[in-house]
Structures are given as C-alpha cells and as structure tokens.
Amino acid sequence: IPAGPFIRGSAPGEGRLDEQPRRKIYLNAFAIDKYEVSNGHYIKFLEETLHKPPLNVFAERPFNQEEGIADLPVVQVTWHDAVDYCFWAGKRLPTEAEWEKAARGNDGRLYPWGNETPSPQKANYERDWEEKKTFVEVTALPEGQSPFGLRNLAGNVREWVQDLYDSEYYSSAPDKNPMGPEAGILKVLRGGSWKSFDTDLRATSR
C-alpha cells in the first residue's frame, strides 16, 4: 500500500461514537496480505512450530486432520496466536489505521467495494451456521475487494489488528502512523464476520 494520506473514521451521524472524529491520517508505505489466512497456511505453521491448534469448529477430531477446509479462513485463533503466526511467517499484524486504509482506500468509502449496500456477491454475512458452508474461501468474492485488491475485508471472519482498543483514541491519536493507545485491556477486531449485520461490515466499524 503506497505511502500517503487517507480518510479514517466516520462523520457525526454516520457511525458509532468510537469511530469519530473523521480525520485525514498519513501512513508510510506498508505491505499487507491480499487474503485472509487460510487453514492450509495455518496448519503448516502448526506442523512446523508445534503451536497449540485452535478449536475445530467442524467436528471433534483434531483441527489439522479435518478435510476440505484448506482454503477456508482459519477461525478460533486468539490475538496471541495471530501474533505468533505472523512472526513465523516473517510478518506482523497491521495497525488499525493500516487495516482501514487497506479496506477503504483514499476516498473515504463506506465499504471495501464502495458505498453500495452489501450483497452476497460482495460479502459473506448474516449467515446461519452451516459448518463448512458457513465460510467462503479466502480467494472468493472478487466483487467485494478493496481498492488495493484485498478480499473479504468485510464479512467471512473478523480480523485481528495490532492495536489495543480505546473508544476515545481517535480524538487524541497522532495524524501520522498512529500505533494505537499505549495501555488497555482489549485488542481490536475488524471487518465483521459471517454472522454480522451490514452495519459491522463498514470499513470504519471497530
């Protein structure tokens, strides 16, 4: 993602209070994965590190013995699991600001694909649990990709970012490369999930 400013947050009346104020933020250039982490990639990480596997939501058998899930996104990972995976892969979690720029580009759009209302062709959301059919593959739904070509930043599975959560952080955050608050209890999740309503699919939703 090239260096430069982008519009972060929501204007009054457009989003929740923790998304305000709407401000222009400058970020240095950064790299970010085009797809969510697949089970296939995560299982390779488990095999090479002997890291504790996540809960297998599909059956009682071990997660790394489940069939037909390699291209689906990994779920049930903690923030610490995500950090460990990134370290193994030679990467890191994005900051919250980086995630939002990757999701909405430079024009302040509501969703990764633009301002149009969500649809099943653009996002996987408002679903009932159907085991493996609940999720779409990490490469699916090209109509919903962001301006930078990232897939499934709205719906499918929620995504961890680096930052601690503070509902009032946007008011005091620096306007260049914000890293999140220095103290807190909660970490930030972004992007909504297969269960989310359309309001949680907005690129500003925290």
- 120-162: pLDDT as tens digits: 999 999 999 999 999 999 999 999 999 999 999 999 999 999 9
DSSP H or E run through 42: helix 39-49
Instruction: Say if residue 188 is exposed, middle or buried (CB neighbours under 10 Å; 0-12, 13-18, 19+).
Output: buried
Confidence of residue 100 (pLDDT cuts 50, 70, 90): very high
Can you tell me the mean pLDDT for 50-66? 92
Q: What is the pLDDT of residue 124?
A: 98
Region of 112 on the Ramachandran plot (φ > 0 left; ψ -120 to 50 alpha; else beta): alpha
Contact between residue 168 and residue 130 where contact means Cβ atoms under 8 Å apart: no
Can you tell me the mean pLDDT for 9-24? 94
Is residue 78 helix, strand or coil? Answer: coil
The identity of residue 16, as a single letter, is R
Residue 143's φ and ψ, nearest 5 degrees, are -65, -20
Distances in Å between the Cα of 153 and the Cα atoms of 14, 61, 69, 176, 206 are 20, 29, 19, 23, 13
* Tokens of residue 169, six digits: 């952080």
* Tokens of residue 120, six digits: 């099943």
H helical segments located in 76-204: 79-89, 96-104, 169-172
